[in-house]
Structures are given as C-alpha cells and as structure tokens.
Amino acid sequence: MKYFKGLIILSLTGLALRATPALAADYSFETLSLQDYYGSTSYEEIYGARYNYGGTNAVDFLDPLADGAPSVSVGDGSSLEYGISNDGSGIFPDSTGSGLPVQWVELPSAQVSQFTAVNQMRRSDGSIGTLIIPRLGIRYKAFDGTDSAAMKKGVGHFTSTSAWDGNIGLCGHNRGSNYNIGSIKNLKVGDTIRYETSEGTRTYSVSYVGIIDWTDWSYLNATSDNRITIITCLADQPSKRVCVQAIECRS
C-alpha cells in the first residue's frame, strides 16, 4: 500500500514540474543611442564634392600613386599615364613602366647684379673714369661722391652704385658750373655715350630720357647688364630731376 502511495506522489510531482514555464530563460537588453555621432552622409551628395576628371574648366592633378589615374596628351601627341606598376614594384609615367613620374624642367639661372668697387677704378689723379657724350660735346672726368668738392672737378659718382660693371650712376650740376650737364635733357634715344676707365672703354646707347621725382632712386638700382645712368637738376623745378639711362652696345 505504501508502495503505491509513493508512486502516485512521484507521478504528480513530475506532472507539476512539466507544467512550470521556463521564465528564467527570458532576457531583455536595451542599448542607449549615442548622442555624439550622427548619421553618415555620402560625400557625393555634396555639390562639387566628387572629383571631376576631364570636366569643363577642370584641372586634373595627377596622383602618381592613384591606381587608374587618368592619362593626358603630351607635346608630341603621345599618351602619358601615371599609375602603379602591375607587379607593385613602383610607379611609372608611361607605358614602358620605367622612370619616375617627374618631368624636370630646366629653369633659367637667376640674373646676378654686377658691381665694381670704386677703389678698383681709382686713377692717379683721383678720378674713376671719363664721361664722353659726343652729341653734346661733353668730356668730363668722374670723381666719387656727389658733394660740391667732387663736382667742382667734373661729374660726381653715386657712391652706392658700381664704378664699372653693372649700373654706373653719375650726376652733375645743370648750370652755374664749368662741368654742368644740363643739356642731357636734349639727348634722344639711340644717342651714344662713352665711358673710359682704367679697365677700358665702353660704348652705351641711350634707352631713356625723362623727368623723374627727386625722390625716385629706382634708376640707380644695381643691374645684371652694363649701363650708365646720369642725373641732373631741372631748371626752376627743385622737386624734379632729368634722368638719362643708356645700355652698353653689344657688337
């Protein structure tokens, strides 16, 4: 009897366990949205963002490391393409697969201003040269300096300018002096000027005759070619100067 009673209790317990739901296996997860980031936007949706190879008024900057970079035509009509070689060994500028994608252009060398110091040109009488203007009958020695002491003996020389190579700057009184050069205002483009020194004689052709402000010193700047610049006062116009510039004649 006890055996059958225990069997019944065990059976009822098993039925009860089978009817119990598995609540412990149910889980719920919730992740908060991040507020620091926003949805991505394709760059192609932005006007003008996509690179326009070969487009109207578009300049194509070729990236030598960009696979499939566009080709362009060079001077002889051949095609020039920049890209990566098939074996990944390097970059190439053309169909030969050799060389570097750099086109070297030889630039002209910078012109260097010339200058000769006065002490290299000084002669035994203290002069540094002789100015000769055939059309005006002028033949005056040049002395370094722009003060009265220099111009009492001939034309003065702007100390800051060259004494031979480059741009020689000379000056003189326009009147009231035995060595006045006021008549240089009558020179014409193409007239001849000569300058004699201990280094030799150079012939120049007048390239400019004009009136400048007394503060304009630009014509006395150093130059890479050989020229001579002569400046004098303009009668009754103290703020103006007469300027003549001549460039060496090349045979």
User: What pLDDT, in 10s, does the model give residues 158-194?
Assistant: 999 999 999 999 999 999 889 999 999 999 999 999 9
Instruction: Please report the pLDDT score of residue 217 as a whole number.
Output: 94
pLDDT at 114 over 80: yes
Q: 3-state DSSP call for residue 134?
A: helix
pLDDT at 219 over 60: yes
CATH number of 118-248: 2.40.260.10
Residues with Cβ within 8 Å of 83's Cβ and at least 6 positions away in sequence, in order, are 64, 66, 67, 68, 69, 91, 92
Instruction: Please report the pLDDT score of residue 32 as a whole number.
Output: 57
Please answer whether residues 171 and 148 qualify as being in contact, where contact means their C-beta atoms are separated by less than 8 angstroms: no
Q: What are phi and psi of 119, to 5 degrees?
A: -65, -15
pLDDT at 19 over 60: no
Residue extent(s) of CATH 2.40.260.10 domains in the chain: 118-248
Number of H helices, E strands in the chain: 2, 12
- pTM for the full model? 0.58
Q: Which residues of 121-151 are buried (b: 16+ CB within 10 A; e: fewer)?
A: bbeeeebbbbbbbeeeebebbbbbebeeebb
Specify the pairing of strand 155-157 against strand 167-172.
antiparallel
Question: Distance between CA 15 and CA 109 in Å, rounded?
Answer: 105
Query: What is the dihedral sign for C-alpha 178, 184, 187, 192?
Result: positive
Give mean pLDDT, residues 48-70: 45
Instruction: Please report the pLDDT score of residue 152 as a whole number.
Output: 94
Q: 3-state DSSP call for residue 213?
A: strand
Question: Distance between CA 185 and CA 136 in Å, rounded?
Answer: 10
pLDDT at 98 over 90: no
Cα–Cα nearest to 175, from 133, 229, 234: 234
Question: Distance between CA 229 and CA 245 in Å, rounded?
Answer: 4
Q: How confident is the model at residue 113 (pLDDT cuts 50, 70, 90)?
A: confident
pLDDT at 207 over 70: yes
